[in-house]
Amino acid sequence: MSTAVAPAPTAVHSHALDPETPPLFVIAPTRGHARVDWHELWHYRDLLYFLTWREISIRYKQTVLGFLWAIVQPLMTMVVFTVFLGNLAKVPSDGVPYPIFSYLGLLPWTYFANAVSRSGSSLVGNANLLSKVYFPRLLIPISGAVSALVDFGIAFGILLALMAWYRVVPSFQSFLLVPLVVLTMLAALGVGMWLSALNVQYRDVQHAVPFLVQLWMFATPVVYPASVVSPKWRPLFALNPMTGVIEAYRSSVLGRPIDWTSLGISTSVIFLFLGIGFTVFRRMERRFADVV
């Protein structure tokens, strides 16, 4: 008995033709409005763990420094910005030692950039898997965003060392870092889902992403404070989803008042990106196996 398979499977139905023949499984695409099948994602949670672990192990396989690369990237970037922007250009840091100020911006930004990059190229990198077996395709870009959290956790240790060196005590607001990390991951996932789907159809995307991410960084208060922007333009500045998030990182660690207006605008944009990314991903999903 053969198995009939339709593109972009999302639902499974089975029935037996007669007692002596095996059941026929028909996998059919979802009709109507696309939605997240949380039950299905939970059912495949072991696969998410495997994809995430594989992403981490491949990234550092046959490297001399291994996981130290997670520290080298933000640390050396912080040193360069401290020398040229903090010391030579005298970029303001709101009264905070510039190394700590810049690292508090680079830490979430490096995670966001790496998560977007991994998620954006994840479908093409798993082309063989896509064309051979069914599973929720959404797990692939999610694994890219989740795997980058390991680098974030390792690099976070450097922040603690810097604060100890400069005798800066974390504030009681530091517990807000947990929801802020979740927001950062959602922002990366929203952009990553969109880029991963487009990358299947247009391979130019994988070449454009590093350039676009670099430009995006300078449009975000990573190495300069949001206070340099005129107050009347700050709501527009907050439309950058990482603007309010990075400023909230600094405020929560340093114990400063959080700009809830900026954070609220950025959070709204993050969920807008997440919705757009998911919609684009689901609409293009049925063609992944044929095009990739």
Confidence at residue 2, expressed as pLDDT on a 0 to 100 scale: 41
What single letter denotes the amino acid at residue 141? P
Query: What's the pLDDT score for residue 232?
Result: 87
Domain boundaries, the chain: 1-32, 37-291
Is the distance from CB of 247 to CB of 165 less than 8 angstroms? no
pLDDT 10s digits, 222-256: 999 998 888 889 889 999 999 999 999 999 999 99
What pTM was estimated for this model as a whole?
A: 0.84
What's the pLDDT score for residue 163? 93
**Residues in CB range of 231: below 8 A, 6 or more apart:** none
Cα–Cα distance, 185 to 148 (Å, whole number): 9
Predicted pLDDT at 10: 46
Rounded CA gap, 204 and 136, in Å? 25
Pairing mode of beta strands 24-28, 11-15: antiparallel
> For residue 43, what pLDDT is reported?
85
pLDDT given for residue 21 in this prediction = 61
> How many angstroms separate the CA atoms of 284 and 150, rounded?
30
Helix locations, the chain, DSSP H? 38-43, 45-60, 69-81, 98-120, 122-125, 127-130, 139-165, 177-201, 204-218, 234-237, 241-254, 260-285, 288-291
**Rg value, the chain, Cα:** 22
Position 127 scores a pLDDT of: 78
Q: Which tokens go with 15?
A: 């029935």
Write the CA distances from 12 to 24, 135, 147, 213, 230, integer angstroms: 10, 11, 29, 39, 55
| pLDDT score of 5 | 43
pLDDT of residue 11: 46
Angle 204-218/98-120 helices, nearest 10 degrees?
160
Tokens of 45: 């949670």
Q: Provide the pLDDT for residue 3.
A: 43
Write down the pLDDT at residue 20. Answer: 61
Q: What percent of the chain has pLDDT over 70?
A: 84
- According to DSSP, residue 171 is labeled P
The Cα–Cα gap between 55 and 144 comes to 7
Supply the pLDDT for residue 176: 92
Q: At residue 87, what are phi and psi to the nearest 5 degrees?
A: -90, -45
Sheet strands (E) in 141-241: none
Residue numbers in the chain where pLDDT is lower than 70: 1-36, 62, 64, 289-292
